[in-house]
């Protein structure tokens, strides 16, 4: 009973739609539900849905409840009930809705609801960006991924001579890397080493270390040997 009374209180005082936890839950739930059906669904689209929910679900329901109660209270006192009564009630309702929209619902929307919603969206996008950057940092570099593929291909006897851009595009499906970068890195690995700048040499050494750590982690000696051979190849070329 107490819970019912509390729910009625928050409904009639219009507190529920303005609660920070409720807005956050509404946004996250709406966003995740739509992303299941539309993978590219944006936070901007969810924002519009939540705003529409505020006006259609909460404002109209809240006003409708008060309007219905008012009509039920007024009906017993309407002694001259005729064909003009319902149009009169309707007109009074429209005027009341306009006034309340300006003085109550609209002000609460712009002053309270919308700032909270925008803050929740910014925090959500920030967390998503942090997660994306964390995943990026956890990924191998393009060159390290190319080295890993090269080692596995050699170990399995898969020929990779004559690397083309189409080859790089196919590997994109496997590694999720830039196809042009995969193509250039495989060419660099399989072809005669070219003269490298100090910056390129440093980046290659870092990538080779990534690949070596990966092979050590999965205990793949052949891969470690491939990394060692490539390391000697590029160091020899950079010293000439």
Would you state the pLDDT for residue 109?
A: 93
Backbone torsions φ then ψ of 159, nearest 5 degrees: -75, 135
Cβ atoms of 17 and 25 within 8 Å: the answer is no
Would you state the pLDDT for residue 92?
A: 66
Cβ atoms of 211 and 148 within 8 Å: the answer is yes
Would you state the pLDDT for residue 141?
A: 78
Distance CA 29, CA 174 (A): 32
pLDDT digit string (tens) for 73-90? 766 666 565 555 566 566
Would you state the pLDDT for residue 26?
A: 93
Q: How far is CA 54 from CA 26, 77, 139, 143, 152, in A?
A: 10, 34, 41, 50, 56
Place of tokens 């946004």: 27
Instruction: Give the list of residues 6+ apart from residue 71 with CB closer than 8 angstroms, or none.
Output: 89
Would you state the pLDDT for residue 88?
A: 59
Please list the ranges in the chain whose pLDDT falls under 70. 1-12, 74-93, 131-138, 160-179, 192-194, 236-240
Would you state the pLDDT for residue 136?
A: 57
Residue 12 CA, chain-centre distance (Å), reads 35
Distance CA 66, CA 74 (A): 12
Would you state the pLDDT for residue 167?
A: 65
Would you state the pLDDT for residue 217?
A: 85
Q: How far is CA 6 from CA 57, 148, 213, in A?
A: 19, 61, 59
Would you state the pLDDT for residue 31?
A: 93
Q: How far is CA 226 from CA 42, 45, 146, in A?
A: 44, 49, 12
Backbone torsions φ then ψ of 214, nearest 5 degrees: -65, -45
pLDDT digit string (tens) for 204-237? 888 888 888 888 888 888 888 888 888 888 776 6
Interhelix angle 179-190/165-175, rounded to 10 degrees, is: 110
């Amino acid at each position: 009973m107490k819970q019912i009374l509390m729910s009625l209180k928050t409904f009639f005082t219009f507190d529920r739609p303005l609660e920070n936890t409720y807005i956050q839950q509404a946004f996250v739930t709406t966003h995740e539900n739509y992303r299941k059906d539309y993978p590219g669904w944006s936070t901007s689209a969810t924002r519009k849905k939540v705003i529409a929910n505020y006006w259609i679900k909460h404002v109209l329901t809240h006003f409708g409840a008060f309007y219905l109660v008012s009509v039920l209270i007024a009906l017993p006192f309407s002694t001259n009930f005729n064909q003009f009564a319902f149009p009169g009630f309707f007109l009074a309702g429209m005027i009341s809705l306009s006034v309340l929209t300006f003085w109550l619902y609209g002000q609460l929307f712009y002053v309270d609801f919308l700032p909270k919603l925008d803050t929740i969206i910014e925090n959500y996008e920030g967390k998503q960006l942090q997660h994306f950057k964390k995943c990026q940092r956890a990924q191998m570099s393009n060159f390290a991924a190319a080295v890993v593929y090269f080692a596995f291909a050699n170990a399995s006897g898969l020929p990779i001579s004559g690397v083309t851009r189409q080859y790089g595009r196919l590997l994109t499906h496997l590694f999720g890397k830039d196809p042009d970068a995969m193509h250039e890195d495989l060419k660099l690995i399989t072809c005669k080493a070219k003269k490298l700048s100090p910056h390129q040499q440093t980046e290659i050494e870092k990538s080779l270390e990534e690949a070596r750590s990966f092979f050590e982690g999965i205990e793949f000696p052949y891969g470690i040997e491939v990394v060692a051979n490539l390391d000697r190849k590029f160091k020899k070329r950079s010293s000439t």
